[in-house]
């Protein structure tokens, strides 16, 4: 890796954790390629604030993911760091999970990771350097009741991380996973203040997580000096899962 300025591509960068990652990487001096789907205004606001490039892409779309990675690499001269963050969650009893719900959960949360990793990896292999950071969930580690499809998809991301780390280490590419606990974003907007309070009480550090907690961990894993960390699942959860 011999470019002076590194480039990060972040999916789901319009809101929540991905947006915070985009702002943090931009502040740290990275070129940022920010991928969004529906939240165009938020993405444009992010571009104005941080100077990042924005790309509209559904992470489920294999061909479009390749086009976006090619365009980002063309613009910045490569892709050094990939943060696979875009994701959806859904609460349902297992017996109420339809085939369509199941497929969509895996298409966004697992195939999306495959699509962007597959498209970005050649640029990293070319440079013999890369950092891939996948955002899983503590439910992928422990299993969440009424979230079987979400938990299974997030567990798949953990498996992908471990296997790919073994394949890419010799190419100078690390692959790690962040498994967040309860983080204050739109994804948890459906939780009542009482439930949030219960979750806080269950958390040893006595607070809910913030997108900054995750962004700081992503920056740490993206650092060139983090090259001896690969195939790991980093819990950022205030101790709610130990
Ligand atoms: P969020 O606030 O709901 O934001 C989700 C982001 O993903 C948005 O930017 C959205 O883009 C994007 N997205 C969703 N479907 C997409 C698709 N098909 N194609 C492209 N982009 C898509 O969620 P968050 O809380 O920041 O979660 C980010 C990641 O952290 C997810 O993978 C989630 O599973 C994981 N996580 C979150 C928590 C938590 O407590 N919040 C805990 C554990 C893990 P648009 O709005 O532009 O459509």
Domain boundaries, the chain: 7-235
- Cα of 186 vs centre of ligand 1, distance in Å, is 8
150 belongs to the catalytic site: yes
Distance (Å) from CA 86 to ligand 1 centroid: 4
Side by side, the strands of the sheet bearing 81-84 are: 53-56, 31-36, 7-10, 81-84, 130-135, 173-180, 233-236
Task: Give the pTM.
Answer: 0.99
Residue tagged active-site, from 36, 114, 129, 150: 150
Please state the separation of Cα 228 from the chain's center in Å. 20
Three-state DSSP class for residue 9: strand
- Ligand 1: centre distance to CA 87 (Å): 4
Rounded distance, CA 130 to CA 228, Å?
12
Distances (CA, A) of 236 to 30, 78, 139, 179, 240: 23, 29, 12, 6, 9
Residue 2: predicted pLDDT:
56
Structure confidence at residue 4 (pLDDT) = 79
For residues 63-102, one letter each, b for 16 or more C-beta atoms within 10 angstroms of the residue's C-beta and e for the rest, the string is ebbbebbeebbeebebbbbbbbbbbebeebeeeebeeeee
Give distance in angstroms: CA of 173 to centre of ligand 1. Answer: 25
Atom of ligand 1 nearest to the CA of 59: 19
Q: How far is CA 187 from CA 27, 91, 101, 178, 183, in A?
A: 25, 11, 17, 17, 8
For domain 7-235, give the CATH number. 3.40.50.720
List, chain by chain if needed, residues with CB within 6 Å of any ligand 1 atom: 11-12, 14-18, 36-39, 58-60, 85-89, 108, 135, 137, 180, 182-183, 185-188
Average pLDDT, consecutive stretches of 10 residues, N- to C-terminus, the chain (242 residues): 85 98 98 98 98 99 99 98 99 98 99 99 98 99 98 99 98 99 97 96 98 98 98 98 96
Give the SS3 label for residue 113.
helix
């Amino acid at each position: 890796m011999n470019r002076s300025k590194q480039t990060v591509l972040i999916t789901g960068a319009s809101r929540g954790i991905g947006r915070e990652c985009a702002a943090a990487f931009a502040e740290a001096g990275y070129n940022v390629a920010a991928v969004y789907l529906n939240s165009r205004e938020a993405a444009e606001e992010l571009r104005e604030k941080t100077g990042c490039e924005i790309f509209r892409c559904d992470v489920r779309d294999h061909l479009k993911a390749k086009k976006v990675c090619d365009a980002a690499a063309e613009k910045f001269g490569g892709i050094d760091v990939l943060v696979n963050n875009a994701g959806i969650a859904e609460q349902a009893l297992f017996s109420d999970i339809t085939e369509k719900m199941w497929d969509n959960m895996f298409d966004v949360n697992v195939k999306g990771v495959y699509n962007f990793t597959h498209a970005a990896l050649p640029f990293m292999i070319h440079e013999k350097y890369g950092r891939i950071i996948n955002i899983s969930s503590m439910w992928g580690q422990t299993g969440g009741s009424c979230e079987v499809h979400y938990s299974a998809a997030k567990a798949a991301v953990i498996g992908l991380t471990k296997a790919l780390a073994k394949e890419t280490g010799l190419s100078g590419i690390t692959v790690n996973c962040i498994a967040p606990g309860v983080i204050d974003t739109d994804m948890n907007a459906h939780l009542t203040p009482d439930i949030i309070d219960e979750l806080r009480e269950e958390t040893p550090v006595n607070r809910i997580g913030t997108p900054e907690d995750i962004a700081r961990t992503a920056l740490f894993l993206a650092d060139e000096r983090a090259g001896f960390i690969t195939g790991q699942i980093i819990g950022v959860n205030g101790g709610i899962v130990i």
